[in-house]
Amino acid sequence: MGMPAQAYAGKECVCQYRKGICDQSCVRDMLETPFYMACLKLKGRRCLVVGGGDVGLEKVEGLLACDADVTLVAPRAVPALEQLAAEGSIDFLQRPYETADLDGHLIAIAATDDTDVNIGVFNDAEARAMLVNVVDVPPLCNFILPAVVRTGPLAVAISTAGASPALAKRMKREIAELFGEPYADLAVMLNDVRGWAKGTLPTYQDRKEFFESIVNGDPDPIALLRAGDVAGVRDLIAAAQRSVPVL
């Protein structure tokens, strides 16, 4: 785990404010920072992780789940990372980080236990206008990683702006319980009729009203899926299609 942001208090300032001596204003300001929420398409994009410990493993696995091409740089790595390298799932540069390691990468994540290395990755990436995240040090990030709930095609992200990862994890558990398989199943079923809707309904507003009539329909499609009534949802969708006026 990298050095947490709070551990810089009273030491030389390394964040974008360059205060001289860290007064933690950057940490406080994180709560007032409006983040632009986006979903990145990483398939086939090169992403760099610096640090071969358990935190590095967590970040590597998160990137692989999105089909990124991952490069790991670290003098040593936990066995699970070594296995990923041995099977060809990641590229493993078994040596200390070098600035040139950033070449050709979209994202850099620093997850080492060496503060100087983490700061170096941040500064090098910022100089290249890259996306960079130093784990557990929000002021040394130009993007933060939310807690993510994934169920099929659905992904729900939870962010506390770095204020409390523990709270984000609790929310993740509760959201996973609330929005589970029925929502993912409905998303897949609605996607199956997107082509029909685009070819049949002439305007965005028409398509919006069509899908909302199903999602907010009576009977409730989520309630039907929770009861195992997939056929009932298909009937609901078919009825919505039949209700479209023939032009």
Angle between helices 204-215 and 181-192 (to 10 degrees): 140
Question: Could you list the pLDDT tens digit for every one of the 247 residues in the chain?
Answer: 344 555 566 777 666 556 677 776 666 666 667 778 888 999 999 999 999 999 999 999 999 989 999 999 999 999 999 999 999 999 999 999 999 999 999 999 999 989 889 989 999 999 999 999 998 887 788 998 888 888 888 888 888 776 777 888 899 999 988 998 999 999 999 999 999 999 999 898 999 999 999 999 999 999 999 999 999 999 999 999 999 886 6
Q: How far, CA to CA in Å, does 110 sit from each of 53, 139, 180, 214?
A: 11, 13, 32, 44
Structure tokens of 72? 């790991």
Structure tokens at 56: 């590095």
Q: What pLDDT, in 10s, does the model give residues 193-244?
A: 999 999 999 898 999 999 999 999 999 999 999 999 999 999 999 999 999 8
Beta-bridge mates of residue 66: none
SS3 content of the chain, % helix, strand, coil (to 5): 45, 15, 40
The pairs formed by 115-122 with CB atoms below 8 angstroms and a separation of 24 or more are 115/2, 115/3, 117/50, 118/2, 118/3, 118/50, 119/14, 121/50, 121/97, 122/14
pTM over 0.85: no
Distance CA 171, CA 94 (A): 37
Using DSSP, state whether 148 is helix, strand or coil.
strand
The token duo for 158 is 């939870």
| Cα atoms in the Cβ-side hemisphere of radius 13 Å centred on 58 | 11
Residue 99 C-alpha from the chain's centroid: 25
Give 9: exposed, middle or buried? Use CB within 10 Å, 0-12, 13-18, 19+.
exposed
Q: Report the run of H or E that residue 197 belongs to, with start and end.
A: helix 194-200
